[in-house]
Chain A
């Protein structure tokens, strides 16, 4: 019977070590004008229709909605925007926690899943700039720019130019899924 326990432990460790599926893990939505619990329920129902949404919590006083997603959710920014519009409101701001693979072909991109790619930006000296190599240094294994490609990272930031096919993510924190180190 010992081998069964060892197998179970090994499988558990293996699953733990595997990177989580790429996609949106959590979102914070800013929505103005929600004036009562009835409105909150309307928007909740619409957001639960977004693929992969696990939980929705509305904070009326702050006009904030917190979402969590199933691993490997294929939800997109457009899905979230459409859900809020469908409830009769507008999305005024959006912050996301996303994981995915880095692509550094033309500037640094984060590919969350086949339907969702973000261009990564950061604020330096008050200006919006593409995320720097320095900011990503701790997750790089080599000094070569291509060393980033294919690396899985977890990024948290606010989304700008939401209507774009590749929305920008103003990064607030970034960490490697593998080593968990955080900027």
Chain B
């Protein structure tokens, strides 16, 4: 059973390393959006994510604390094509095992490159837009130590945004097909998100272009079981659904936002730790790349 225990840990870490890298363009905090990024313009999104998992189904008092800092660069290739590159930086991970021993880690996660191709645009009034886009990309095995799946994994998905006056709805669905590498294959991942944003302030824009939003998101994650050395790891994969209230301040030259992801449904396979919460703090800054 010893090798399998190691595989369980590996699976747990792989799942964590593939924690959803959040989007970077415009509004959603944990949900992708289909809003425009200007051609040859860039956005840097820097996040700080804290995850705490203490709910041990075995009752052994295991505990996991992780601080990650995913960094995302967004680039407007054309008015309809946007590129995203996300590198998760694991600043700190502390796992307290059942026997009281503590293991600390840090490192890099897997780099994700994503292209967003907008195929439907209906800007039908001031402050009002409907847009749909396809997402196509790849996850690269840049993860150090245990923070990656060590595989090239294709990503495909779709995203839609409907902004109207003080409201915005965002919806995405993204599937990651994990591939096998050296007898290890992390489970496929499917994420689906729905976000509602309401502009609390101002009621009407004046000359000063700033706004304060309240957000409520539903963020779902399904992960298939990991396979290692020809065996399925029973303590891997499962379903997660977070309810994520958030707040956001948008100015012309930056966005500051915060969100708390509260698990409302957890159906993890086996004896995996269950999340208490994930807290997210994020800043976005636009810049001109001047590549053209």
- Interface set of A (CB-CB < 8 Å, partner B): 31-46, 57-64, 85-90, 92
Contacts and interface: CB of A to CB of B under 8 A. Distances in A.
Interface string B23-37: 000110000000111
B46 to A, nearest CB: 15
11 contacts: A33-B124, A37-B252, A38-B284, A42-B36, A42-B37, A42-B38, A45-B38, A46-B38, A60-B209, A62-B126, A89-B79
B142 interface: no
B256 to A, nearest CB: 12
A56 to B, nearest CB: 11
Contacts of B125: 32-33, 63
Given A62-B126, A88-B39, A38 B205 contact: no
Interface residues of B, number: 37
A85 B168 CA distance: 22
Contacts of A60: 126-127, 205, 209
Contact of B126 (A32, A43, A44): A32
Given A40-B209, A45-B288, A58-B209, A33 B129 contact: yes
A34 B126 contact: yes
Given A35-B128, A36-B27, A88-B76, A41 B286 contact: yes
Nearest to A46: B38
Contacts of B27: 36
Question: Which A-B residue pairs are the 4 nearest by beta carbons?
Answer: A33-B123, A88-B36, A63-B126, A33-B129
Interface in B74-118: 76, 79-80, 118
A34 B35 CA distance: 9
A36 B207 contact: no
Contact of A59 (B129, B205, B284): B205
B210 interface: yes
Contact of A63 (B118, B127, B252): B127
